[in-house]
Amino acid sequence: MLARQPALDGLRGVAVAAVVVFHLEHLSGGFLGVDLFFVLSGFLITSLLLVEFDGRNAIDLGRFWSRRARRLLPALFLLLGAVALLIEAEVLRQGPGLRGDALATLGYVANWHAMARDIGYWDMFAQPSPFDHMWSLAIEEQFYLLWPPLVVGILVLARRRGGGGRRLVGRVAIAGAIASFAVLALTWTATDTSRAYYGTDSRVGPTLLGAALAALVAGPIDAAGSPPGAGRSRRIRGWWAPAAGIAALAFLLWSFAAVRGTQPTYYRGGLAAFALAAVVVVAVVVRGRAGPLGAVLGFAPLRGLGIISYGVYLWHWPVIVYTTPERTGPDGWLLDAACVALTLALAIGSFVLIERPIRRGALRGGVRGMRAPLALGGAIAALAALVVVATIGAPASSDVTVVAGPARDASDYPAQSLSESVKAVTEPVPSGAEPVATAPPVPSRSPRILLVGDSGPIFLGPALTAEAERDGAVAAYDSQLGCTPLIPEGKLRYGGQTLDLPVCHDTRRRTWAGLVARFDPDVVVYYLAAVTGLGQVWMGDAWVGDCDPAYAAYLRQTLTEDADVLGARGATVALTTTPPTAIATLSEEGRAALDCRDATYRAVAARHPHTELLDLRAEVQRGVDAAEDNMWRDPVHLSDDGAARVSRWLVPASVALVDPQRLTEISTAGAAGTPAG
pLDDT in tens, 595-644: 888 999 999 999 888 899 999 988 888 888 776 557 887 777 888 888 88
What is residue 462's three-state secondary structure?
A: helix
pLDDT value for 436 = 36
Closest CA to 591 of 656, 529, 547: 547
**DSSP secondary structure letters along 147-207:** HHHHHHHHHHHHHHTTS-HHHHHHHHHHHHHHHHHHHHHHH-BTTB-HHHHH-HHHH-HHH
Q: Per DSSP, which regions of 420-463 are E strands? A: 426-430, 448-453
Q: Output the pTM of the full model.
A: 0.65
Closest CA to 537 of 551, 526, 557, 549: 551
**pLDDT band at residue 294 using 50, 70 and 90 as cut-offs:** confident
**pLDDT band at residue 202 using 50, 70 and 90 as cut-offs:** very high
pLDDT value for 143 = 97
- Torsions phi, psi of 466, nearest 5? -65, -45
Which residues lie closer than 8 Å to 274 by C-beta, 6 or more apart? 32, 35, 36, 206, 251, 252, 255, 259
Tell me which of 415 and 411 has the higher pLDDT. 415
pLDDT value for 102 = 87
**Given the DSSP bridges, would you call strands 611-614 and 572-576 parallel, antiparallel or unpaired?**
parallel
Q: Is the pLDDT of residue 647 over 80?
A: yes
Residue 584 identity (one-letter amino acid): A
The tens digit of pLDDT for each residue in 23-80 reads 987 888 999 999 999 999 999 999 999 999 988 888 999 999 988 988 999 999 999 9
Query: Which of 276-280, 344-348, 463-467 is predicted with the least confidence, judged by mean pLDDT?
Result: 463-467
The tens digit of pLDDT for each residue in 259-291 reads 988 778 899 999 999 999 999 999 999 876 678
pLDDT value for 375 = 60
What is residue 132's three-state secondary structure?
A: helix
**pLDDT band at residue 227 using 50, 70 and 90 as cut-offs:** very low
pLDDT value for 441 = 40
The tens digit of pLDDT for each residue in 174-184 reads 999 999 999 99
Sheet of strand 542-544, all strands in order from the earlier edge strand to the far edge: 497-500, 491-494, 537-539, 542-544
Domains of the chain: residue spans and CATH = 6-390 (no CATH), 400-672 (3.40.50.1110)
Is residue 396 within 8 Å of residue 96, measured between CB atoms? yes
**Given the DSSP bridges, would you call strands 448-453 and 572-576 parallel, antiparallel or unpaired?**
unpaired
Q: Is the pLDDT of residue 658 over 90?
A: no
Total Cβ atoms within 10 A of residue 641: 16
Q: Please write down the HEC assignment for all residues of 567-615.
A: CCCCCEEEEECCCCCHHHHCCHHHHHHHHHHHHHHHHHHHHCCCEEEEC
pLDDT value for 109 = 93
Q: Please write down the HEC assignment for all residues of 35-65.
A: HHHHHHHHHHHHHHHHHHHHHHCCCCHHHHH
**pLDDT band at residue 480 using 50, 70 and 90 as cut-offs:** confident
Which residues lie closer than 8 Å to 173 by C-beta, 6 or more apart? 42, 46, 208, 209, 211, 212, 215
pLDDT value for 520 = 87
What is residue 346's three-state secondary structure?
A: helix
Query: Which of 5-9, 451-455, 581-585 is predicted with the least confidence, judged by mean pLDDT?
Result: 581-585
Tell me which of 258 and 385 has the higher pLDDT. 258
Q: Is the pLDDT of residue 675 over 80?
A: no
Is residue 7 within 8 Å of residue 293, measured between CB atoms? yes
Between the alpha carbon of residue 22 and those of residues 261, 316, 372, the distances in Å are 11, 11, 38
Query: Which of 245-249, 311-315, 358-362, 418-422 is predicted with the least confidence, judged by mean pLDDT?
Result: 418-422
pLDDT value for 514 = 84
Q: Is the pLDDT of residue 220 over 90?
A: no
Cα 122 to Cα 494: distance, rounded to the nearest angstrom: 23
Total Cβ atoms within 10 A of residue 108: 21
Tell me which of 164 and 10 has the higher pLDDT. 10
Q: Is the pLDDT of residue 226 over 90?
A: no
Please count the helices (runs of H) and the strands (runs of E) in the chain. Answer: 28, 12
Query: Which of 161-165, 237-241, 446-450, 465-469 is predicted with the least confidence, judged by mean pLDDT?
Result: 237-241
- Across-strand partners of 189? 192
Which residues lie closer than 8 Å to 138 by C-beta, 6 or more apart? 104, 105, 108, 109, 110, 111, 112, 200
Q: Is the pLDDT of residue 241 over 70?
A: yes
Average pLDDT, the chain: 80
- Across-strand partners of 404? 416
